[in-house]
Every structure is written in structure tokens, then in C-alpha cells.
């Protein structure tokens, strides 16, 4: 998931950045309204953390962003105990508004709730067959066994879980899991997906040329694909045995 932080306070912005990166989010940060407007032109973000800090004029950026039909979730931050300021933030398009100082635990819980609402999921724990993802704890289980994933492996799997059975291109995944200034190898997504397939089972992730990658969520499909591979392996083994007997 790609996040934009618009925040004047450098120390607070860094706290936010580290907390979000710990949850496998790709994070970009701007500190001026001009750069915020430029960043939002691309509409690549799933979440925007928007610092107001008494600068009500900056809300025009958010209002213009929303007028274009953008659906990213927005959490605004206010340093003032002002009902009027929070009201204006909601009217500009914020989904939530928190007063500083912000409790990071509460913020991450709100973010998870907003993301679930955005994709129509009601719970943090989602299962497809014997594969389970708990986004509250960033944990994954396969066949009741915990699976240790690296940060970007988890980020990719979480994307797969948001839209089951949809194919995601490598370009899309790259855009969502890498932030500004991060070095990206040309085959980075291929490497991450290959590692995921090794850890979760090759039958759970399908690769299709020209389409990308998808999570196979239909247990019947998974079983069928697994049996097909097993049948092919048995047939190959039988053919090899036949050849060995002929040679001998």
C-alpha cells in the first residue's frame, strides 16, 4: 500500500514514516502545500495523512483532489482543539480527523479500519482456504503454520488479498510497494513473488504472461492445480521408469 504524508513537523513525520514502514507500507513525505499538490496529481496513493496545523488554506488541495473523484482514504491531523477546523477537514474530504499528539496505536487501527471499509472487508483476519492473513499483527498462516515473510513479500500478499483472483501487473505492484528514492531492480517483483510461492506453495499464486500475478483463492482451483502437478509428476516419473527399463 502506498501512503503520502503531508506534514510540516519533521519529527512527527518521521515517527509516522517509521510506524507505517514497520507495517510494510511504502511511504512518501512532503512538507509544503505545493509539493503535496504535485504528489497528488498522479493519484497513486491508497492513504493520505494530511497535516492541517491551523493552515486552513491547505485544505483547498484536499478539496481539489477529491473533486477529481479520487478515492484514497484521508486522515487529517489538527494541532488545535477546534471543532470548526475538524469540520472543515471533513467537508474537504477527510475520512477521519485526529488531534495531535496522535497515538500511533490508535492511528494504525483507524488506518486498518479505513482500508477494510474501502475494499469491503469487515475483519482484520481474512482467510482463503487454508491461507490466512491477519493485518492487525501482520501475520500469515498456511495450513495452520505461521509463515515468516519479508516486508515486501507481505506487502504484495496483502495486495493480493484486497482483490481476490484479480491479476496484478508487476508495474502496479512495484508502484504500490516502493516509495520515492528506493532502488528497484528490474526483476524485483518477480523475485518477491518467487519467494512467496516457495513459502506459501506454488499452487497458491498464479503467473500469467501479459496479465501478471494473482492469488488463487478457490480451494477447488488450488486442489485441481496441485493434483494436476502431482499427476504430471507421476506421469513423468513413470515415463522415466519405462525408459530405464527399455535401456536396461
Q: What is the pLDDT of residues 18-46, one digit of tens each?
A: 999 988 999 999 999 899 999 998 878 99
Considering the chain, what percentage of its residues have pLDDT values greater than 70? 85
- Indicate the average pLDDT of the chain: 84
pLDDT score recorded for residue 233: 43
Q: Could you tell me the residue ranges of all domains in the chain?
A: 2-119, 125-217
3-state SS string for 47-112: EEEEECCCCHHHHHHHHHHHHCCCCCEEEEEECCCCHHHHHHHHHHCCCEEEECCCCHHHHHHHHH
pLDDT score recorded for residue 121: 61
pLDDT score recorded for residue 137: 87
pTM attached to this predicted model = 0.74
pLDDT score recorded for residue 181: 77
The CATH number corresponding to 125-217 among 1.10.1740.10, 3.20.20.80, 1.10.10.10, 3.40.50.2300 equals 1.10.10.10
The CATH number corresponding to 2-119 among 3.40.50.2300, 3.40.640.10, 3.40.50.620, 3.30.360.10 equals 3.40.50.2300
Backbone angles phi, psi at 214, to 5 degrees: -150, 155
pLDDT score recorded for residue 146: 94
Backbone angles phi, psi at 103, to 5 degrees: -80, 120
For the chain, which residues score pLDDT lower than 50?
219-237, 239-240, 242-248
Question: For residue 49, how many C-alpha atoms fall within 13 Å in the half-sphere facing its CB?
Answer: 31
Cα–Cα distances in Å, from 244 out to 19, 157, 233, 236?
59, 43, 16, 12
Amino acid at each position: 500500500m502506498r501512503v503520502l504524508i503531508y506534514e510540516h513537523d519533521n519529527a512527527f513525520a518521521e515517527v509516522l514514516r517509521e510506524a507505517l514502514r514497520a507495517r510494510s507500507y511504502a511511504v512518501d513525505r512532503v512538507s509544503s502545500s505545493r509539493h503535496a499538490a504535485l504528489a497528488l496529481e498522479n493519484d497513486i496513493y491508497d492513504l493520505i495523512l494530511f497535516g492541517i496545523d491551523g493552515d486552513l488554506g491547505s485544505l483547498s488541495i484536499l478539496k481539489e483532489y477529491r473533486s477529481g473523484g479520487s478515492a484514497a482514504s484521508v486522515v487529517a491531523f489538527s494541532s488545535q482543539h477546534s471543532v470548526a477546523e475538524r469540520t472543515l477537514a471533513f467537508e474537504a474530504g477527510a475520512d477521519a480527523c485526529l488531534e495531535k499528539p496522535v497515538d500511533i496505536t490508535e492511528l494504525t487501527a483507524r488506518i486498518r479500519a479505513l482500508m477494510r471499509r474501502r475494499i469491503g472487508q469487515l475483519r482484520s483476519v481474512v482467510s482463503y482456504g487454508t491461507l490466512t492473513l491477519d493485518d492487525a499483527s501482520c501475520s500469515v498462516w498456511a495450513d495452520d503454520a505461521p509463515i515468516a515473510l519479508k516486508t515486501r513479500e507481505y506487502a504484495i500478499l496483502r495486495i493480493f488479498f484486497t482483490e481476490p483472483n484479480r491479476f496484478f501487473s508487476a508495474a502496479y505492484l512495484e508502484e504500490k510497494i516502493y516509495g520515492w528514492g528506493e532502488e528497484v531492480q528490474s526483476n524485483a517483483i518477480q523475485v518477491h513473488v518467487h519467494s512467496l510461492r516457495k513459502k506459501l506453495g506454488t499452487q497458491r499464486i498464479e503467473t500469467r504472461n501479459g496479465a501478471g500475478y494473482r492469488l488463487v483463492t478457490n480451494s477447488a482451483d488450488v486442489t485441481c492445480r496441485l493434483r494436476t502437478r502431482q499427476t504430471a509428476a507421476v506421469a513423468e516419473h513413470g515415463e522415466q521408469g519405462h525408459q530405464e527399463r527399455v535401456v536396461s
